Structure 1
Amino acid sequence: MREFIVEADGGSRGNPGPAGYGAVVIDAASGQTLAEAAEYIGVATNNVAEYRGLLAGLRAALALDPTAAVHVRMDSKLVIEQMSGRWKIKHPDMKPLAFEASRVLPPTQVTYEWIPREQNKHADRLANEAMDAGKRGEQWSAAASTAELVAADARAARAAAKAVAEPVPSGPPGDASAGAARARAALAQGRSKDVPPASPAPSAAAPAEDVPSASPAPSAAAPAKAEADVRAARTVAAPSSGWAPADMGAPATFVLLRHGETPLTPQKRFSGSGGTDPSLSDVGREQAERVGAALARRGTIQHIVASPLTRTRETAGIVAAHLGLDVSIDDGLRETDFGAWEGLTFGEVRERYPDDLNAWLADPEARPTGDGESFAATATRMAATRDKLIAAYTGRTVLLVTHVTPIKTLVRLALGAPPESLFRMELSAASLSAVAYYADGNASVRLFNDTSHLRA
């Protein structure tokens, strides 16, 4: 009996949104690709597209040899568990697709295995090619796929040759353009996969207010950090499984977006939830448009939840228009209440309330003047909000549009870092961070303070 491996995938840019699938049949003995299938299917969800990919792969295997043993490999935990009979199929859109898939070949000929996303690249590429073709008003074809692969290989070869032949500009240690050039060169030579994610360099103590803090100090690791940042920017909202066991299932992934600039942001004024509630500036609205366009290209955000404050609701609304999603509001995502310090600069607070400020910097239980909210109280609120959202969005990718202190607190809690770490994090307006939460209670910080989309 011949043995085939079927690898399948599907995706939706918006969920639901423009969707497509890809599937490949491989000879288990030789590893040779025997058949490929891909199709743009219009507006659908990720899960529907994944099931359509499974169906296409099984049908292609059937056409090659109806008596072959077929081993299905997919990175969709949902599809694998449901088709294996371990999970019930509850969604009405899934039931007919699963039933149809179970009828293509006798169940005794088909086995199922979950694999990490990075091991399903062939089918993932085909699915994305199908969605790209749909965007152009076309359907995927094998000939066009082969031509694109040849062109991509040629571009990679030219880039690698150029990177070796031409010196990469060095620039000063913290120069962003030079760092990006190094990153591109490293990626072209295939080295970026070996670079571990870099942590932000510590900065001098600054208030954990809803304004950007000072830029991180330059370090000798700047080139490596630039490479890691480029890689992370490409994978945000589509994280790999990391160190989590395969049987943990898909995590709840929170993509954390700090709102765009307001008139108070460039002035570095405390802007919490205790009185000041500014709208976005023109710069802030443009930043939100750029975030929305970038996330729409990545196509993995499934839900949007925002803080109730004006600047976050405006940012979320602009992004939602790009993604075709609704926005839910959660009061737990609001910024810290800075009491009497609202609207003041750090210097003005030090001048007017020096003792209160010193206590606040030293003790997470200390409150800003005027019965503001302590960092300890914010952490308690954020932990409760986090747990509630994890329960509601298990296995989903959710954009949380919020503020500096909530984002830093979620990252701090995920890392198990002490409260003083809040003062050592850089978080820019309209930046993206990401944390994945697994079923065993562990968390994985995937990205922090990414602003590459603002420079596009």
Structure 2
Amino acid sequence: MAVRAVVVEADGGSRGNPGPAGYGAVVRDPDTGEVLAERSEAIGTATNNVAEYRGLIAGLEAAAELGAAEVEARMDSKLVVEQMCGRWQIKHPGLRPLAAQAAGLVGRFASVRFSWIPRERNRHADALANAAMDAAAGRAPARAATGRATGTDPATTPASWEPRPTETATRLILVRHGETERTVQKRYSGRGDVPLTDRGRAQARATAARVAALAPVVAAVVSSPLSRCTATAEAIATAVGNPPVRPDDDLIECDFGVWEGRTFAEVREGWPGELDAWLASTRVAPPEGESFTAVAERTGRAVERLRGAYPGETVVVVSHVSPIKLVLRDALAAGDAFLHRLYLDTAGVSVIDLYPDGGVAVRSVNDTAHL
């Protein structure tokens, strides 16, 4: 039986960006919250944004099948919501066909309203998307309510040894900030605004010279808003022609909660169970803190924004050990054990290339030859 109005909640993601991807969508009665339909599918290798658009499309298709006239589409993807509302340009060529398909579905309804919601209010669709990602990664049976083929996704990236032209890639030069007192003392250093030491400032200057040698032309310098990063970023900006240093909150360090400022030994002594759980799962947060899963979600957003905003250009990204490790993990399509096996020095430099079709090439990791 046809319904007058529905709420569509949609989500998508990838284990890596790109990586094994999937989406989830839920259609609800707006008055009772009753689930009227679910859609979930593993879509192979794709980016987060592609998976999010696929979730929206599946949700709109399900709403149309129910005969709905009015739709409120709710997503925790700011990019998709803003693009569908026409407030943000669709710069990534792989997203344009998906946005056009979604827009065509919108035209089938009397009205469609898009709303951004925080992730915690999108748990049902998020759970469906995570199950689909597990299926795409080969860790669970695939669930495909729509029954569509997935091999022709415009932003999937087949494996290949074929060399790629570097001039078409967005190059990210990832720089960890210089030394602070807390890095010397091996203390958890998250949201606390700890300044660089004298040695840290010298490292920043040396790193600036290294970056200038790597990239004669830099389109932007983007930084965590904390001073240990902005001071490092300003030294680099001076060396590469003074582009403005643009702060990005999504690049801030993990919130270590009550562990902030404590040594690793103090945390082991005071919170042994919580520490073991945190080390065992990226979904577990320190007490009153933030999980690495949450950090990965926001760093993934930052990377996608840069890929879309600076096609074929070089961007310097100054951040912290956790965000950079997570970006590299996803770029390499590695597992979570990678986070414990990779060491990143203060003022170390890593380079990745992001291609328009979603492809990624990791050029270097933790280069410290300049220090």
TM-score where L is the length of structure 2: 0.55
Choose the corresponding residue for 2:258, options 325, 340, 346: 340
Per the TM alignment, residue 392 of structure 1 is displaced from its structure 2 partner at its CA by: 0.7
Q: 2:173 aligns with which of 252, 255, 263?
A: 255
SS in 2 for 1:453: coil
Out of 324, 335, 338, the residue aligned to residue 407 of structure 1 is 324
1:358 pairs with 2:276: yes
1:358 is paired with a residue whose SS is: helix
Matches within 5 A, 1:383-394: 383-394=300-311
Structure 1 residue 292 corresponds to structure 2 residue 208: yes
The SS at the match of 2:246 is: strand
Shift of 1:297: 3.4
Partner secondary structure for residue 319 of structure 1: helix
Q: Deviations over 1:292-330 (max 9, x none)?
A: 122233424332111101100111112212222221111
Partner of 2:296: 379
Structure 1 residue aligned with 2:228: 311
Cα RMSD after superposing both structures: 1.7
Q: Provide the residue aligned with 1:424 in structure 2.
A: 341
What is the distance in 2 between the residues matched to 1:342 and 1:357?
A: 13
Which one has the largest radius of gyration? Answer: 1
TM-score (structure 1 length as normaliser): 0.45
Q: Note if contact 1:252-1:394 (Cα within 8 Å) is conserved in structure 2.
A: yes
1:398-432: CA deviation from partner (whole Å, max 9, x where unpaired):
10010101111011001111122101101000000
- Alpha-carbon shift at residue 363 of structure 1 (Å): 1.2
Deviations 1:173-202 (A, max 9, x none): xxxxxxxxxxxxxxxxxxxxxxxxxxxxxx
* 1:256–1:401 CA contact under 8 A, matched in 2: yes
Comparing both chains, which one has the higher relative contact order based on Cα–Cα distances under 8 Å and sequence gaps of 6 or more? Answer: 2
Is 2:219–2:310's contact at 8 Å kept on the other side of the alignment?
no
SS state of the match for residue 221, structure 2?
Answer: strand
Shift of 1:373: 0.6
Q: Who is 1:264 aligned against?
A: 182
Query: Shift of the alpha carbon at 1:376?
Result: 0.8
Give the alignment of 1:190-205 within 5 angstroms: none
Partners of 1:297 and 1:244 in 2: how far apart? 23
Query: Percent same amino acid among aligned pairs?
Result: 44
Count of aligned pairs: 210
Runs of 4+ in 1 over 3 A off after TM superposition: 242-246
1:398 corresponds to 2:318: no
- Where structure 2 has 5 or more consecutive residues not aligned to the other structure, the ranges are 1-160
Structure 1: gaps (5+ residues): 1-241
Aligned equivalents of 2:163, 2:302: Cα separation in 1? 23
Q: CA deviation at 1:266?
A: 1.0
Q: Report if the CA contact (8 A) 2:217-2:240 is conserved.
A: no
Distance in 1 (CA, whole Å) between partners of 2:317 and 2:247 is 10
Q: Partner letter of residue 323 of structure 2? A: P
- Counterpart of 1:282, as a letter, is D
d(CA) in 2 for partners of 1:376 and 1:243? 32
* CA distance, structure 1, for counterparts of residue 210 and residue 342 of structure 2: 24
Deviations 1:149-168 (A, max 9, x none): xxxxxxxxxxxxxxxxxxxx
Change (3 A) 1:367 1:389: same
Name the CA distance, whole Å, in 1 between partners of 2:162 and 2:324: 23
Alpha-carbon distance between aligned partners in 2 of 1:417 and 1:444, rounded to the nearest angstrom:
13
Map residues 1-16 of structure 1 onto 2, 5 A cutoff: none
